[in-house]
Amino acid sequence: MIQMMQRLIEVGHGYAMNGDVYFDVRAFEGYGKLSGQRIDDMLASPDSEAQIKRDARDFAMWKSAKPGEPYWDTPWGPGRPGWHIECSAMAEKYLGSHFDIHGGGLDLIFPHHENEIAQSKAAGDQFANYWLHNAWVTTAGEKMSKSLGNSLLVDEVVKRVRPIELRYYLVGAHYRSMLEYSDDSVNDAGQGFRRIEGFLQRSHEFLGGDPLLLLPNPEARPAAFEAAMDDDLSVPQAFAVLHETVRNGNAALTEKNAGLVGDAFYATIAMLEVLGLNPWSEPWVGAGHADTESVIDALVQVALQQRQEARARKDFAASDAIRDGLDAIGIRIEDTPQGARWTLEQ
């Protein structure tokens, strides 16, 4: 931070005054570009130092120490860093002078991110290529925050809802749109995701149940899905493509059209993989008991269907082989009048 402020002073974008260090906003030509504001239209700072600054809109990069505050020694005397210089210095140290994406909440566009850009570029860094500003998750109409005490911890939420359905709900909104959270909203959205899971399970079974079918193929992603994701991460539009694909796949299942079922199945798996929602991918298999059991159940049901078909054609050797194979991995099969049931030996 000290080195960056020294560079800014040397090139005329910063100045020291009474132990404080300020950024000269009028010396930086692009100030206000990110937020779409002109310097002369900005409200002047109401702080007590306004009269000693070159311009009342100049912001502090370093503040001289006050009694009782933590402080660090600098060439300008003891003090503490301002909020904005901390972030510019950390970005330069850990990401370098030029990186791709800088994110943050919509409320940080001005003044924080505007000031970061001014500091970093004035100091000679190219800084970020793209800025992504997300809206907030709200509850009872209010932004979640520590100060309001209304934050929800993910560890607690996933005790009430399936983790994968929570993700489905959260990623379904555009990142720049507000999202109101409630358990009921997640459960309602979960119905849509369960329809996707149901299609995957039925189509996987219809296509023969080979585990290799579950491997995602990026080339199977529909062009419309990729176009939506390339359009400022328009996940809602990508979801529309996903659900249309599932509807077409279900229609193909009804018609027993293996080619169209396969196309929809592979496309759905490929899209879910991009969205982090593939129920057969490793994060979800290991995310919790509920998701693990649902995946195991889907695979076991395929095996049980194959076993039933073998028994129907009196191929008892194949039927026994399937049962023994499941038994070998701890899955016990019980034949009942209502059909085969399975349990997992712990």
Domain boundaries, the chain: 2-134, 140-285, 289-344
Query: Which strand (E) or helix (H) includes residue 301?
Result: helix 289-312
- Planar angle of CA 285, 288, 292, nearest 5 degrees: 40
- In this structure, which CATH number among 3.40.50.620, 3.40.50.150, 3.40.718.10, 3.40.309.10 belongs to the domain 2-134? 3.40.50.620
Three-state SS for 339?
strand
Three-state SS for 63?
strand
Phi-psi label, residue 288: left if phi above 0, alpha if psi -120 to 50, beta otherwise: left
* 8 A C-beta contact, residue 265 and residue 200: yes
Q: What is the pLDDT of residues 117-162, one digit of tens each?
A: 999 999 999 999 999 999 999 998 998 888 888 999 999 998 898 8
Q: Which residue has the tokens 């100045």?
A: 15
Q: CA-CA distances (angstroms) from residue 133 to 32, 126, 175, 184?
A: 16, 19, 8, 27
In which residue ranges of the chain is pLDDT below 50? 288-290, 346
Q: Which residue has the tokens 């194949």?
A: 318
> Tokens representing 87?
């972030």
Q: According to the model, what pLDDT value does residue 188 have? A: 92
How far apart are the two ends of the chain, measured CA to CA in Å? Answer: 55
Write out the CATH class of domain 140-285: mainly alpha
Q: According to the model, what pLDDT value does residue 290 have? A: 47
Would you mind telling me the total number of residues written for the chain in this entry?
Answer: 346
343 backbone dihedrals φ, ψ, rounded to 5°: -135, 150
Q: Is the dihedral of CA 48, 52, 58, 60 positive or negative?
A: negative
Q: According to the model, what pLDDT value does residue 132 have? A: 97
* Distance between CA atoms of residues 213 and 193, nearest Å: 20
* Distance between CA atoms of residues 27 and 51, nearest Å: 18
Query: CB atoms < 10 A from the CB of 260, how many?
Result: 15
* 8 A C-beta contact, residue 39 and residue 32: yes
Q: CA-CA distances (angstroms) from residue 134 to 139, 228, 247?
A: 16, 18, 31
Q: According to the model, what pLDDT value does residue 276 have? A: 96
> Tokens representing 341?
């049931």
